[in-house]
Chains A and B, each alone.
Chain A
């Protein structure tokens, strides 16, 4: 049973899922499109166009892969539906009519994660959706909320697979469930088989960031990895919960103890408490064995019962921001950039422009590591001044963006890098994590299968 990873985020390498399908045998292809902030971007798109709000790239990809999926019997599990899985399905159905496959594709949509359309009803029923970090109730920012989605677990994906779906399109599913739901389905694991489900969660964590488990963004001997055409991870799972992480042999990248360990610790909190809707996995029980030949065996994973509450990811309008950049050259590049910053801030002061935050960074002189980078080298070839502001008043942020260009003629010398023009003003979408009783979500979850 092989579950291959084809996308680690929306915007990931488009060739990866095609290579996973065409360069070797797999049974499932999982595609993760949703980062925490993606839902609010999709929600904005749906506001402008009721037929938008999902990952459009996904539709092109499925059209391209459709004949292979049917002939090879590969099933796709994806959260590409974003805030509008039905629209995603409709686009697939419409465009698949032009694609020649020997039989129709069965497309399942999963709905029920979206709390935005019934948020007031949910709040009125006494669910306060308190911020997990600050403890504040959601009512304090209710008017500014743009998206609210609960993380669904394996349940609805399992239902879709039982109904013989070839392509499963969900909204906000837990990333790891895109990998472990197929395992539960194929091996018939019981819902309270916590250790095996936890093993599936670990497999899902390895799959969900694409090439990051296969030598991408990996520090260990990074010079030696060929990343032009990297393999993405493939989980070769066994019914007992053990699995091997590997990749197609004809592709680049690298799978070894180091690449897998780096991915295991990525975005980790308390390793003994990796919480998903279907179990709590204990990452301190994972045993790795590097088998060589781009194969790493994972065994020993233990889990505990699933939590009573589901996580809810909420986005709300948090003001506006803009970032401007100018490059200063040798000699004294850093000193010139500092002088430009002083001039710019002086002008903002005289204009009476105040912001919640102004931040200046010097790219090439410690922007990433701050004081740890030591004092800037006076002979550095160039330094990029990067100055950003954030505030509630869009007009003020807009005014700031007009103060960058004047520095070219009316600022310190040997400056360049303004070809991209005036900086854009971006709306800030702030993140509000909360918890909710499972029943509120699970009672409205719907799975629907359409043939196309």
Chain B
């Protein structure tokens, strides 16, 4: 089923100069290989079109069920040079979670139990 990434993962982002890092964490271990296949560096670069002007690197952390993305040239120069409201890239995590992904329904239901989404639907 097609769902926004926030149904199956959570994230935190931060800055290093003009680069944003977004750590994407799967809600369940069974979702990690699925996300690894679906959320590629190319897909993330395309998602942040018009926002990320440089390249995107991806690092895998199977031990934490997490992927780490580095979005280069994304903060208008970074630090105090930047004129952006979000000069430290704090909200890029939520921006990545807007991405739409196609995930097997049973895996989404499992994630809903962990994230608390199923309780909120009741």
Number of A residues contacting the other chain (C-beta, 8 Å)? 53
Number of B residues contacting the other chain (C-beta, 8 Å)? 42
Q: A265-B68, A284-B63 are in contact. Are A370 and B50 (CB under 8 A)?
A: yes
A431 touches B84 (CB 8 A): no
Binds B, one of A155-163, A188-196, A217-225, A346-354: A217-225
Give complex CA distance A37, B88 in Å.
Answer: 12
Interface residues of A in 293-318 (CB under 8 A from B): 300, 318
Q: A318-B81, A368-B91 are in contact. Are A287 and B10 (CB under 8 A)?
A: no
Contacts of A426 in B (CB 8 A): 80
Interface SS of chain B: mixed
Binds A, one of B14-22, B35-43, B102-110: B14-22
Interface residues of A in 406-452 (CB under 8 A from B): 426, 428-431, 433
Interface residues of B in 19-74 (CB under 8 A from A): 21, 23, 25, 47-51, 59-66, 68, 70
B85 adjacent to chain A (CB < 8 Å): yes
Contacts of A267 in B (CB 8 A): 14-16, 21
B17 touches A431 (CB 8 A): yes
Contacts of B47 in A (CB 8 A): 372
User: Which one, A223, A300, A323, A430, contacts B83 given CB within 8 A?
Assistant: A323
A210-237 CB mask vs B (1 if < 8 Å, else 0) is 0000000111110110000000000000
Give complex CA distance A269, B51 in Å.
Answer: 19
A-B contact pairs, 30 of them (CB 8 A): A219-B94, A220-B10, A220-B115, A261-B25, A261-B66, A262-B23, A262-B25, A265-B68, A266-B14, A268-B14, A268-B21, A268-B59, A283-B64, A284-B62, A286-B63, A300-B63, A357-B83, A359-B76, A359-B84, A367-B85, A368-B94, A371-B50, A371-B51, A372-B48, A388-B83, A428-B80, A428-B81, A429-B79, A429-B80, A431-B81
- Extra contacts, 18 of them, besides A262-B25, A428-B80 (Cβ < 8 A), are A133-B18, A221-B116, A261-B23, A264-B66, A266-B23, A268-B23, A272-B59, A359-B76, A359-B84, A367-B86, A368-B86, A371-B49, A371-B51, A372-B95, A390-B83, A431-B17, A431-B78, A431-B79
